[in-house]
């Protein structure tokens, strides 16, 4: 589907009340920065295995600690009641994706936790669900990595949220100090790849502006949403 930022957008006077997982990772932490700074975001509930100490002082943010994220769908949905936008920023690091020894862990995180969160978000009656998967995601792929991502996408879509944004970026740039050696090589020391701070802006932009029920955003579409948010919403 073509992404057209000139079409009428949603009324952003209905402020975002965010529900987030993966908030201590690179992209999730960047998303908290974006949400906390935005006057269009009213509140944030973040669920994870540990607290983000860097964001702990924000009056917008409430953090819940869960020992086993695979059990997130069994949490009482009342803790997230009132949330209207869920953001799934969980994911395996680039360095571990290609390790055969990490295959089971990869599926447990990128499918198991992500789908459990989608069920919890549905139980909490959120309107919007945004998830970051990856380039060439396809549940029928012969390759384990892209097949798992595709299976996750299919599961999320089947939950029948009012709006779903699926982000399929290529390389991500997690920033100095966060890149592993393989990521360092592929991004040429951070020269290439979408900075996670920009990706977070793009994801938030989709929650604010997307009107279609399900949209799959490839890299070029993500960049359009990033530019739209940074030029028309972020500093206005």
CA distance 125 to 146: 29
Residue range 170-189: average pLDDT? 53
Residue range 43-53: average pLDDT? 96
DSSP string, 32-73: HHHHHH-TTEEEEEEEESS--GGGTT-TTEEEEE-S-GGGGG
Look up the pTM and report it.
Answer: 0.86
- Tell me the fold of 16-232: Rossmann fold (3.40.50)
Query: What pLDDT does residue 102 have?
Result: 55
228/236: higher pLDDT: 228
**Contact indicator for 83, 17 with CB cutoff of 8 Å:** yes
Query: What pLDDT does residue 200 have?
Result: 97
Mind listing the pLDDT tens digit for each residue in 122-171?
999 999 999 999 888 999 999 888 899 999 999 999 999 999 999 999 88
Calculate ∠ Cα 16-18-22, nearest 5°: 145
Query: What pLDDT does residue 132 have?
Result: 95
Sign of CA dihedral 49, 55, 56, 58: negative
For the chain, the domains span 16-232
Mind listing the pLDDT tens digit for each residue in 65-110?
999 999 998 899 999 999 999 999 997 654 444 445 456 777 888 8
């Amino acid at each position: 589907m073509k992404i057209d930022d000139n079409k009428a957008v949603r009324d952003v006077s209905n402020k975002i009340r965010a529900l987030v997982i993966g908030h201590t990772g690179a992209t999730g932490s960047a998303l908290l920065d974006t949400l906390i700074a935005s006057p269009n975001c009213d509140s944030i509930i973040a669920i994870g295995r540990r607290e983000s100490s860097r964001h702990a002082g924000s009056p917008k943010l409430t953090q819940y600690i869960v020992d086993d994220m695979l059990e997130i769908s069994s949490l009482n949905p009342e803790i997230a009641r009132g949330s209207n936008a869920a953001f799934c920023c969980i994911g395996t690091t680039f360095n571990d994706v290609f390790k055969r020894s990490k295959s089971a862990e990869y599926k447990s995180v990128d499918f198991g936790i992500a789908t459990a969160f989608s069920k919890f978000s549905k139980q909490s009656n959120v309107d919007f669900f945004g998830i970051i998967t990856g380039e060439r995601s396809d549940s029928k792929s012969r390759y384990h990595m892209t097949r798992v991502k595709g299976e996750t996408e299919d599961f999320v879509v089947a939950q029948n949220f009012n709006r779903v944004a699926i982000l399929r970026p290529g390389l991500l740039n997690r920033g100095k100090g966060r890149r592993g050696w393989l990521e360092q090589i592929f991004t040429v020391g951070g020269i290439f790849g979408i900075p996670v701070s920009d990706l977070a802006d793009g994801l938030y932009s989709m929650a604010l502006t997307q009107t279609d029920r399900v949209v799959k955003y490839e890299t070029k579409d993500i960049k359009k949403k990033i530019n739209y948010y940074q030029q028309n919403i972020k500093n206005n």
